[in-house]
Amino acid sequence: MTDGRVVRQAMAMLSISHRALIYRAYFLGRTTAQIASEDCTTEPIVRTELHDAMLELRRLLRGAHAAV
Residue 3 lies in a domain: no
Measured CA angle at 37 (ends 13, 17), to 5 deg = 10
Q: Which residues of 27-66 are buried (b: 16+ CB within 10 A; e: fewer)?
A: eeebebeebbeeeeeeeeebeebbeebbebbeebbeebee
According to the model, what pLDDT value does residue 21 have? Answer: 98
- Domain harbouring 40, CATH code: 1.10.10.10
Check whether 53 has a pLDDT greater than 90: yes
Residue 2 lies in a domain: no
- Using CA of residue 4, residue 48, residue 15, residue 60, what is the dihedral sign? positive
Residue 1 lies in a domain: no
3-class DSSP assignment, residue 30: coil
Check whether 1 has a pLDDT greater than 90: no
**pTM across the whole model:** 0.86
**Structural domain count, the chain:** 1
Chain segment 13-51, per-residue pLDDT in tens: 999 999 999 999 999 999 999 999 999 999 999 999 999
Domain ranges, residue 57: 8-67
